[in-house]
Amino acid sequence: MPDQQQTHPHHPQTPGTPRALRLGVAGPVGTGKSSILATLCRELAGELAMAVVTNDIYTDEDARFLRSAGVLPTERIKAVETGACPHTAIRDDVSANLDAVEDLEEAYGPLDLVLVESGGDNLTATFSPALADAQLFCIDVAGGGDVARKGGPGITGADLLIVNKTDLAPYVDVDVAAMVTDARSARNGLPVLALSKNDPGAIAELADWVRSVLARHRDGTHIPTDPGPMAPHSHSHGHSHSHDS
């Protein structure tokens, strides 16, 4: 098992130089995770040295989407195929993801920021702090205005909650302001951002949030927190399990 560097976020080859901030992006299927990664690369790759790791169940589709978007040199985008349980690879046995992050750091480092996209999963999938220094959780208005009230560790405890695709709200009869208010009341002061890939103001806020976490990571004041374990659940292929670490 590679050194998870949980308490010493420094680049192994350069003592005293902080290694890249590892930012996880999780959320249910289709809520816009890959689009958020593309947006962050477009906004930040001019000022930060970046790389991306994607997680898909059986394919490298998200990596291919990002490569074809042309937002980063293709070799800086690596795919992890997770098998049946995408959450396992970001929560219980994070070694394939850590290997991918460390390979990218070794090949293209020093890096400032590595984005890790979870496979699309359910509302309870979160990153282990052994993999992600910080994580954002993405829900969208198309999933319905009550999603923010349903809770789950990502909604209540991720470093940033994104209510995405606000441009679709009028078409799905969702009141974005009410959804954001519900989300805020579930999060005990943690930030919530209403976002659309067509909203430059919200995109600028997202980029600023990442810059602020990176600044705290670099000066040692950012403390990775665990939003909490997944709820016990079962899989369509027949096994059930809990994630209590």
Ligand X SMILES: Nc1nc2c(ncn2[C@@H]2O[C@H](COP(=O)(O)OP(=O)(O)OP(=O)(O)O)[C@@H](O)[C@H]2O)c(=O)[nH]1
Which of 6, 10, 17, 30 binds ligand X (CB under 6 A)? It is 30
Quick check: 143 binds ligand X (CB under 6 A)?
Answer: no
Quick check: 128 binds ligand X (CB under 6 A)?
Answer: no
State yes or no: 172 annotated in a binding site.
Answer: no
Here the tokens at position 81 are 């195929």
Nearest C-alpha neighbor of 226 from the set 95, 94, 51:
94
> Is 224 in contact with 147 (CB distance < 8 Å)?
no
State yes or no: 30 annotated in a binding site.
Answer: yes
Quick check: 180 binds ligand X (CB under 6 A)?
Answer: no
For residue 53, the cross-strand partners are 78, 116
Min dist CB 178 to ligand X, Å, is 19
Quick check: 42 binds ligand X (CB under 6 A)?
Answer: no
Quick check: 33 binds ligand X (CB under 6 A)?
Answer: yes
Quick check: 164 binds ligand X (CB under 6 A)?
Answer: yes
Sheet holding 134-140: strands in order across?
A: 77-81, 50-56, 113-117, 21-26, 134-140, 160-164, 192-194
Quick check: 93 binds ligand X (CB under 6 A)?
Answer: no
Min dist CB 62 to ligand X, Å, is 5
Quick check: 29 binds ligand X (CB under 6 A)?
Answer: yes
State yes or no: 29 annotated in a binding site.
Answer: yes
Quick check: 57 binds ligand X (CB under 6 A)?
Answer: no
Here the tokens at position 38 are 């593309």
Nearest C-alpha neighbor of 25 from the set 156, 168, 133, 177:
133
Amino acid at the residue 38: A
Each residue of 159-188: b (16+ CB within 10 Å) or e? bbbbbbbbeebeeeebebeebbebbeebbe
Min dist CB 215 to ligand X, Å, is 26
Quick check: 82 binds ligand X (CB under 6 A)?
Answer: no
State yes or no: 31 annotated in a binding site.
Answer: yes
Annotated binding site: 27-34
Give residues in contact with ligand X (CB under 6 A): 29-35, 62, 120, 164-165, 167-168, 196-197
